[in-house]
Amino acid sequence: MNMRTLAIAAVGLGVLAYAPAGLAGAKGPFVGIMGGANFTGDQDFRGTGAGINRTVKTDTGWAVIPSVGYRYGNGIRTEFELGYRSNDVDKLTGVGGAAGAGKMTAKSAMVNLLYDMDTGSRLMPYVGAGLGIARVDEKKVRPVGAATSRVNDDDDVFAYQGIAGLSYWVNESVELAAEYRYFATQDPKLHNSAGVRVKSEYDSHAALVGLRLNFGGPKAAPEPVAAAVAAPPPAPAAVVEPPALPRSFLVFFDWDRSGITPEADSILRDAAAYAKTTGAVKIGATGHADRSGPDGYNMALSKRRADAVRARLLALGVPESEIGVAAKGESDPLVPTEDGVREPQNRRVEIVMN
């Protein structure tokens, strides 16, 4: 590893640290685990002893990486991970090369900084970088020098990595992920069984899958019973007027749903009757969402809710020319909450008649 590589890793972390805010992602702690195939590049062995000039090739190995971390609600998350990577030696090339034996492993402790990219859907690409320390262990790697000489040593060295992945949110708590990682270390300094100092290398490419469990979601509040705004008192009996129904209505929805519930359908029937009896010329249906999902996704969800209300009013006989729809996403909550809170009364469509 050289200073240029270190500089690239440092710049990568710096760019991520100043990633733009505003992404309405999840917020709170999480735990995760990733595992999969690990591929090491050709690892060169160099030393002061006779014949210590080899390139080690390895078989496809495996890696497992558990982690804990925290999401900050703006697309940025940090995590601490422990990693284990293992590959069996396939062969050694160079002067006097021979079939290989032994194993190369790397145990690591890394701190990562990652950025989740909001796509307005449950799919979320992400990139990241990490710095830390690794113990590179060469077990019974031979021949290095004489045929009976083996490297059976380890060294603690600086490590760095780059990460690119794609996750899918099954719900607000469970996230499936697939990712690629490039992991590399400072050159380990080892000794063979004859006491000769050997400088090695370690870098790997990993294809991983896994999941993360997110604990930032609040406790779900009891679902309110959807109801129309209270009607004003009736007019005196001597005055002949149309029925005095509310001029505004609220229709509530289940989490992450735009389907009309039976309670909501009853309110929409009242709204349609009001429009027919009072001759309303303009009906505005504005969709809203709570703050438990990404901003773009919530905007689309609130539009689907407003469209569902419009479709039901049309089915109930309200003229199409009288209905207009709008969507505000999570920007205008009925009950103010912090980002990520699942507030039932914010999942609504407001119907206003003029």
* pLDDT, tens only, 269-303: 888 888 877 766 688 889 999 988 888 888 998 99
Determine the pLDDT at residue 21: 37
Position 106 in a domain: yes
Q: What average pLDDT score do residues 314-332 get? A: 86
Tokens of 115: 């950025």
Determine the pLDDT at residue 222: 47
Position 235 in a domain: no
Determine the pLDDT at residue 183: 95
Q: Are 191 and 310 in the same domain?
A: no
What is the extent of the structural domain holding 311?
248-353
Helix (H, G, I), strand (E, B) or coil at 137: strand
- Tell me: pLDDT of 341 over 80: yes
Of all residues in the chain, what percent carry a pLDDT higher than 70?
77
Position 301 in a domain: yes
For the domain that residue 130 is a member of, what is the CATH number?
2.40.160.20
Tokens of 41: 């590049």
Which runs of E-coded beta strand occur in the chain? 27-40, 43-47, 53-58, 61-72, 76-94, 98-99, 101-116, 123-142, 151-169, 174-185, 189-191, 197-199, 203-214, 248-252, 283-287, 323-327, 348-353
Greatest mean pLDDT range, 46-50, 89-93, 192-196, 264-268: 264-268
> Taking the CB of residue 343, how many other CB atoms lie within 10 A of it?
21
For the domain that residue 328 is a member of, what is the CATH number?
3.30.1330.60
Tokens of 286: 């504005």
Q: Are 195 and 304 in the same domain?
A: no
Determine the pLDDT at residue 22: 35
Burial label, 17 (beta-carbon count in 10 A; 0-12, 13-18, 19+): exposed
Q: Are 171 and 275 in the same domain?
A: no
Determine the pLDDT at residue 98: 52
The closest of 330, 298, 126 to 212, measured between CA atoms, is: 126
User: Which has the higher per-residue pLDDT, 24 or 295?
Assistant: 295
